[in-house]
Structure 1
Amino acid sequence: MTLLMILFCTFGLLSEIAVAQNKTLINSTPIQPYLDQAIQKMTEFSLENGMKFIILENHEAPVVSFVTYVDVGGVDEPDGKTGLAHFLEHLAFKGTTLIGTKNYQLEKPLLERLDELDKKIQVFEEKGKPDEVSELKTKFDATEVLATRIVEQNELGRIVEQAGGVDLNATTSTEATRYFYSFPANKLELWMSLESERFLDPVWREFHKEKNVILEERRLRVDNSPIGQMLEKFIGTAYTLHPYRRPVIGYNQDIRNLTRKDIKDFFVTHYIPEKITIAIVGDVSPNNVKELAKVYFGRYQSTLQPKGELEINMEPKQEQRKKVILKLKSQPWYLEGYHRPSINHPDDPVYNIIGRLLSDGRTSRLYKSLVEEQKLALTAKGFSGYPGNKYPNLMLFYVLTAPGQSVDKVASALSKEINLLKTELVSKIELERVKTQARAELLRALDSNMGMAQKLLEYEVKTGSWRNLFKQIDALEAVTANDVLRVSQTTFTPDNCTVGKLLPQDGY
């Protein structure tokens, strides 16, 4: 299927073109008219409380995808309480006073009792009184058994599944929390009811069990993962002030110390109408969506205050090269990161192109040189926007060395490829190839209701308007070889570089 056909499928316009298309036609046919038709199918509105909705009609199939985008992530957590946003995402699936419980009136005092016992356990642990701790844990376990008997496990998920819903899930990043799933078109009102209730009437049940789940998740991702440990150390070195320096999942001790009150306070501060944007893409009527949104989400009370944001400490300009070295039971890895501006900077498309030139697939410079020709690496990739892109971030390169090779050889080879971008203009053929790849990736992201919903929300919240999503193709087309040279020269400097070396322990 050609790029143009993919685009037409996305917006329900396949019937308007001939089935046979070729690459020449893709490159010569203006895409903007079709994007304009998509824009005509968009509707947006805000409720009186400040909650915003973006709707894209697509009547090709009787399905609808929903994404609730909360403008809060790891960067919004206070120091000492990392992991709150991710923890809250887990608990948002636990239900309400009506969903997820057999009898909330019986459950509520048990939940409060668990909180009291947990607090006392922490106090006696700090005082070094094991006998008291043991006695309290016995009481805690007995209370938790009683509370668990009242819980209806995964009731929200069962309701969604029985109504034909699919892909119920959520993600937390440095700067956003997203909740999403898809329903048959005739279940629009059910989605309105379920989604509004779980944030209007949440119950943070099974908090202590979920804490253990998250701690195990951290062990798998970080503590027992050499590259996970390396990435945590690396980003904590590259950043000194900005909260990008902290892991989204949270530090181990912070997670252990979090309480249900911490979750509630964070929720009350950040899960406010003004910070929630919802995308609905599929077989819906905008007027129907608007009327139902007023009924269900109009119940949220506006805070009439700033968006509950902490003051974000901006990262000062890096003045000297930084280095992280870890020795663990692992194959050698090499990391190299450079500070770059946010998604809203005019040079963002240039960084996109640079990342693709160096590491987009088997035709990229890093793969051809380090993997195929020199056989120094098993993997050699890079990308912009680490660990997020709402604020100034990193262009990160990472290389897994091949057996018998060293990170120093890899570092030298990577440096040579980066320096070429600083000293030689990219050829017209190579530049056009990566632009074609960039267009294809963008259009593939729009090739589903869910993909479209996710992208619309990202651009709406981060750039101020979902319309900027449809300007990306023109922005990429406008990038020149001189732009690549200029940005490479200003970005890839020794003082702006952070290096990470993951070396094998002796005997590994």
Structure 2
Amino acid sequence: MLQFCRSLLSFSVAALMLKHATRAIALLLTLLLSWGMVPAMALAQTENAPAVKPPQSIQPYLDRVIQQITEFRLANGMKFIVLERHQAPVVSFLTYADVGGADEPDGKTGVAHFLEHLAFKGTTRIGTVDYKAEAPLLDKLDRLSEQIQAATAQNQKVELDKLKAEFAQVEASAGKLAKQNELGRIVEQAGGVGLNANTSADATRYFYSFPSNKLELWMSLESERFLEPVFREFYKEKDVILEERRLRTDNSPIGQMVEAFSDVAFKVHPYRRPVIGYNQDIQGLTRKDVQTFYETHYAPNNLSIAIVGDVNPTEVKRLAQLYFGRFKAKPAPPEVVATEPAQTEPRSLTLRLETQPWYLEGYHRPALKHPDDVIYDMIASILSSGRTSRLYKSLVEKQQLALNAAGFSGFPGNKFPNLMLFYALTAPGHTVDEVAATLRVEIDRLKTEPVSTQELDRVKTQARADLLRSLDSDMGMAQALLEYEVKTGSWRNLFKQIDEIAAVTTQDIQRVAQATFVPQNRTIGKLLPKAL
């Protein structure tokens, strides 16, 4: 893992959650929603991106893609989706764990992200000089950590100093037996690129690409790191994660705002909690907590793998059975059962920090698998897609109330009912109340004025182009296939988007807007400078 470089968000989340937002502000917000790095694939479209002119119909292309997909499930429940693409001798691999921040127990927030970090630390054979000698030192560090916490609670300064000195000595000894980043070196030496991962509220994703003749090496490495993981360097990694939180939340006004906004907008559902975790919870996490979470949620039937590129599906299946078939079947992990009740009155919050003024406004909406999902995407595109969007033209260009203004669906995830979130960075000399009033005018227009056929056709064309662009790279395709497989029940639903986009009418836009953009469903957030 690459320490602070990991704090960039994966495109996979950005493409699904922010595909119609402007780049600079959207990326700033999305950094707060998922924790990991950007894989080697195209970023979401912006007004500066080169235009993609889709053909009259891209359905023939999608049909050809579907014909090249093979799927199978191992006896232990692990799902594989394989897409043959022989244009270049490379293969992209993505392991999708259907577990994210929303699945964490109360009081253990941040454990999913912590586990993602530790999944790069190796196994009983990778990342160690001598595991038999290393293992008792790791156990001793756990015992010393518990004793340090007890001595701290009892304010036993002399004993605390002694324990800390012993802890440092044992940690140094364990460090001498660890081979830092050995997994990364093996991948790099074999020609692999893009080794990384990210954790969101919905899922944890691990990904990289290899030359196609390294298929079996990937099978060996990836199966081993989830079959026999060793969560070494736990306490050093805890410090790294706490620093991540300080950097992107505690020392970031917009980071604090996003966390507070989620806590107000959601009252029951775990979407209200930050993926990085609360500071106190992170500090209290133990290696046993991570091990328990891993054993519960990294069951074979909770893992799905996409392999896209220059491969033979028959060979993939043979090797998958050989390497991943070693995983023992487990009971299905517990599901998120909390259901967010319908919001019945407006909610609001105001923070005063050292910052420029920001305005946020959110509305509850259904999950990705809901039939109206594509309509929400159309609404986001009409309001927020580039310099021709209504919010940009009104708030930024015409009235100059904001330096930027946009909106997107899927905050902070889209597996469960979530929010459509609008945000604006207020221009100098103007107030968030001015921004709020004008933003509301544009939102209400969707309720009272039917969208023109010309405008709807424009956003449909953009949506088709966005779909093509997201499927252009092997890693992008791997991500999209797994998102739809896990969140909607079948990867085939990805390829139904063309028909769904074409079927949206102006009446659909108005219907969804009228049902969604109502005062009782609204949460607003005002981030204001500290009073002088």
TM norm structure 2 = 0.90
Asked if 1 retains the 8 angstrom alpha-carbon contact of 2:102 and 2:336, the reply is: no
The answer to whether 1:489 aligns with 2:520 is no
| Counterpart selection for 2:150 from 115, 120, 123 | 123
CA RMSD of aligned residues (A): 1.1
The answer to whether 1:250 aligns with 2:277 is yes
Q: Which runs of 5+ in 2 are unaligned?
A: 1-50
Give, as a single letter, the amino acid of the residue that structure 2 aligns with 1:185: S
* 1:475 aligned residue: 500
* 2:422 aligned residue: 397
* 1:74 aligned residue: 101
- Deviation string 1:308-333 (CA, Å, 9 cap, x unpaired) is 12442100000100001000000000
Listed as ranges, the matches of 1:362-377 within 5 Å are 362-377=387-402
Distance in 2, Cα, partners of 1:464 & 1:243: 22
- Deviation string 1:64-116 (CA, Å, 9 cap, x unpaired) is 00000000001110000000100000000000011001111111111001000
Listed as ranges, the matches of 1:2-401 within 5 Å are 26=54, 29-303=56-330, 305=331, 307-401=332-426
Partner of 1:450, secondary structure, is helix
Give, as a single letter, the amino acid of the residue that structure 2 aligns with 1:243: P
Distance in 1, Cα, partners of 2:509 & 2:516: 10
Give, as a single letter, the amino acid of the residue that structure 1 aligns with 2:512: V
Task: Find the structure with the greater CA-based Rg.
Answer: 1
Asked if 1 retains the 8 angstrom alpha-carbon contact of 2:52 and 2:465, the reply is: no
Distance in 2, Cα, partners of 1:312 & 1:359: 33
Distance in 1, Cα, partners of 2:415 & 2:338: 13
Deviation at 1:141, TM superposition (A): 0.7
Give, as a single letter, the amino acid of the residue that structure 2 aligns with 1:96: T
Deviation at 1:33, TM superposition (A): 2.1
Distance in 2, Cα, partners of 1:134 & 1:503: 43
Distance in 2, Cα, partners of 1:163 & 1:263: 30
Asked if 1 retains the 8 angstrom alpha-carbon contact of 2:359 and 2:526, the reply is: yes
Asked if 2 retains the 8 angstrom alpha-carbon contact of 1:65 and 1:450, the reply is: yes
* 1:433 aligned residue: 458
- Deviation string 1:352-405 (CA, Å, 9 cap, x unpaired) is 000010001111000000000000001101000100111000000010001111
Q: How many residues align?
A: 482
Listed as ranges, the matches of 1:390-469 within 5 Å are 390-469=415-494
Q: Which runs of 5+ in 1 are unaligned?
A: 1-20
Deviation at 1:130, TM superposition (A): 2.3
Give, as a single letter, the amino acid of the residue that structure 2 aligns with 1:326: L
The alignment-based identity, stated in percent, is: 66
Deviation at 1:473, TM superposition (A): 1.4
Deviation at 1:293, TM superposition (A): 0.3
* 1:8 aligned residue: none
Distance in 2, Cα, partners of 1:486 & 1:39: 33
TM norm structure 1 = 0.94
* 2:33 aligned residue: none
Deviation at 1:498, TM superposition (A): 0.3
Deviation at 1:487, TM superposition (A): 0.4
Give, as a single letter, the amino acid of the residue that structure 2 aligns with 1:84: V
Distance in 2, Cα, partners of 1:167 & 1:136: 40
Deviation at 1:128, TM superposition (A): 2.1
Distance in 1, Cα, partners of 2:265 & 2:92: 38
Asked if 2 retains the 8 angstrom alpha-carbon contact of 1:243 and 1:312, the reply is: no
Partner of 1:362, secondary structure, is helix
Distance in 2, Cα, partners of 1:310 & 1:345: 19
Asked if 1 retains the 8 angstrom alpha-carbon contact of 2:351 and 2:528, the reply is: yes
Distance in 2, Cα, partners of 1:310 & 1:445: 29
Do the aligned partners of residues 407 and 22 (structure 1) sit closer, same or farther apart at CA in structure 2, a change above 3 Å counting?
A: closer
Partner of 1:49, secondary structure, is coil
